Structure 1
Amino acid sequence: MLDDFFKYQAQTSPHPLAMEISHAKGSYIYDTNNKEYLDFVAGVSACTLGHNHPKVVTAIKSQLDKYMHVMVYGEYIQKPAIELAKLLAKNLPKSLEKTYLTNSGTEAIEGALKLAKRATGRSEIIAANKAYHGNTMGAMSVMGFEERKQAFRPLLPNIKFINFNKELDLKHITSKTACVILETIQGGAGFIVPSNNYLQKVQKRCNEVGALLIFDEIQPGIGRTGKLFGFQHYNCTPDILVTGKGLGGGMPIGAFTASAELMDLLSDNPKLGHITTFGGHPVIAASALATLQEVTAGNLIEQALEKEQLFKKLLVHPLIKDIRGKGLMLAIITPSKTITNTLILKCKDAGLILFWLLFEPKAVRITPPLTISNKEITKGCNIIIKILDDILQEK
């Protein structure tokens, strides 16, 4: 398959890991040589309940026996999508009551930006430096990393950037601003958490000038940070909430949620303000519903914070300068890009999957399934420490 992979499938980078996958279950992925890899990445925060979780698989198979795609989004009444949107509303503040389901997180970002412009009649959008919200043209426009978007300009006009956690920059949010879009925890930047009540202060400023606040929870959401959504740690509520990745339980999904008053604006003046053929697909909605039910019914969310402490207890080493993030959204910071690259690649050879972050070259991603056991955490951390010991001896 290796030759065909490079010949027929478009690549996202010059040097993909190119593992030939046979199957996956729980916290493990297996290659075609039946070598097992403990997965500390979970499909980049997407496989919330691990691989092939029985309740998710059962929900998918059950829905397959009933029907798959039957009509474009929003025309027919389909139980999986309704139940998913209803369960989201049940677990969110009252102002976040109505959800639009999409095919991906980046499409949900597009819908949220459109909704903010439609609601306010304004065009200015404020985002954060080193932000990542997806790779479609609108989402790329609010990406705060010029190197990754300069080849695709011109993008959306009237975008301004502020620095995450810098209160002085809030003066740039004015009566011309349609919305401020922020990740509740900055992902690509190195898992930067808000400090000094920053998100509350952004919300206060938005309220003062009539701008909408959009929180991107595509990575932090669905229990990964020790709350169902990351913003729930910070005593504030967005006007529009965007989620994706972990909501699907391994299937592709995105969603944006707001008040009924806001969301209804997309259905009229003009009609079809946001449309999608496959958004809310019944099989994917069934997978997401089973995932959300499992996450909210058990103690996986609370365990995320306990497992964070276990990681921090075990990952102590001279080459680990910091561990950023919250819950099971963690990033090891090493002294250099070279050490980070060596650690990730040697851990792969040793049967542990780690990965990079987008904009912080010294960071090592640790975002395992919420279902990972303490035994598996210990096993993976021991591999990391051994590889770091080897790197230290070679220096």
Structure 2
Amino acid sequence: MGSEYWRNAFRPLLPGILHLQYNSQQLIDEIDGNTACVILETVQAEAGILAPSAEWLRAVRKKCTETGTLLILDEIQTGFGRTGKLWGFEHFNVIPDILLLGKALGGGMPLGAFIADKNLMLQLADNPVLGHITTFGGHPVCCTAGFAAMKALVDEKMYEQVQQKEQLFISLLQHEAIKTVRSFGLLMAVEFDSFETNKKVIDAVIEKGAITDWFLFASHCLRICPPLTISEAEIKKACKIVLNVLEGR
């Protein structure tokens, strides 16, 4: 991570790593033939739901292709229908070289994965031999749960109503204390003027029966990240709780 607060305890760090501004021309300019990979969240989550411009992400993809650089997209939060499509990168008409997955992948069980084509995966086969195996990799119970969750997601097309539900949240969360609501599907950040205001709202909302928290890198924003199966009635109830708290604070 780029923040010294989070990475200081892990020093010394790997050399030759740059932390560059998301959605910036500088990032594109820094990619050259010596760049091994570019690692991005398709939409930045813990920063408070920051989406890139489609043109920028496509330009990153183009520069990576030209320089032989791997484009690695982190869809641990934006994958599995969260954005209204199965994968967040589908909104931008780009395809990564490596896709990182987790969280919803396990259907409630601990499971993470990275996906790449066969040629890239074969780079892990030797040198050193057995150098990339793992004791619990492919855990049968976790994989079975993940398969069942994925099958239900696809068969029931749970992501098809995500954008409709997103718009309902946005239409209801209207209050003078709310500076803005940033969203990308059912991944949403409700922005307040400070962490102190946000923390008071969060504490009161939890007390009244809705579960939420703040973002690691946007502590003044309240997180909304409900199950894709949330009903219209449940959305209205949750928003009413938030608005009642704002009226009574």
- Tell me how far apart the structure 2 counterparts of residues 175 and 299 of structure 1 sit (CA, whole Å): 41
What is the aligned counterpart of 1:193 among 36, 41, 51? 51
TM-score by length of 1: 0.62
Cα deviation, 1:348-392, whole Å, max 9, x if unaligned, reads: 11111111111111111110111111111110000000101122x
Structure 2 equivalent of residue 304 of structure 1: 162
Higher relative CO (CA 8 A, sep ≥ 6), structure 1 or 2? 1
Q: Give, in angstroms, the shift of residue 265 of structure 1.
A: 1.2
Cα distance, 1:206–1:369 mapped onto 2, change above 3 Å: same
TM-score by length of 2: 0.97
Q: 5 Å matches for 1:160-179? A: 160-179=18-37
Q: Give, in angstroms, the shift of residue 196 of structure 1.
A: 4.5
- Tell me how far apart the structure 1 counterparts of residues 167 and 183 of structure 2 sit (CA, whole Å): 12
Q: Give, in angstroms, the shift of residue 157 of structure 1.
A: 1.4
Structure whose alpha-carbon radius of gyration is higher: 1
What is the aligned counterpart of 1:345 among 195, 203, 216? 203
Matched letter for residue 175 of structure 1 = G
Cα deviation, 1:240-278, whole Å, max 9, x if unaligned, reads: 001000111111110100010110111123222311111
- Tell me how far apart the structure 1 counterparts of residues 6 and 205 of structure 2 sit (CA, whole Å): 27
Structure 2 equivalent of residue 373 of structure 1: 231
- Tell me how far apart the structure 1 counterparts of residues 169 and 233 of structure 2 sit (CA, whole Å): 11
Preserved contact between residue 185 and residue 325 of structure 1 (Cα < 8 Å)? no
- Tell me how far apart the structure 1 counterparts of residues 4 and 161 of structure 2 sit (CA, whole Å): 37
Structure 2 equivalent of residue 218 of structure 1: 76
- Tell me how far apart the structure 2 counterparts of residues 273 and 297 of structure 1 sit (CA, whole Å): 37
Structure 2 equivalent of residue 358 of structure 1: 216
- 2:36 partner SS: strand
Structure 2 equivalent of residue 318 of structure 1: 176
What is the aligned counterpart of 1:336 among 177, 194, 203? 194
Structure 1 equivalent of residue 244 of structure 2: 386
For structure 1, which runs of at least 5 residues remain unmatched after alignment?
1-142
Preserved contact between residue 54 and residue 92 of structure 2 (Cα < 8 Å)? no
Alpha carbon RMSD of aligned pairs, Å?
Answer: 1.1
Structure 2 equivalent of residue 180 of structure 1: 38
Aligned-residue identity in percent = 49
- 1:171 partner SS: helix
Matched letter for residue 47 of structure 2 = A
Preserved contact between residue 166 and residue 183 of structure 2 (Cα < 8 Å)? no
Preserved contact between residue 191 and residue 329 of structure 1 (Cα < 8 Å)? yes
Preserved contact between residue 20 and residue 26 of structure 2 (Cα < 8 Å)? no
What is the aligned counterpart of 1:252 among 102, 110, 114? 110
Q: Give, in angstroms, the shift of residue 153 of structure 1.
A: 1.2
- Tell me how far apart the structure 2 counterparts of residues 279 and 370 of structure 1 sit (CA, whole Å): 28
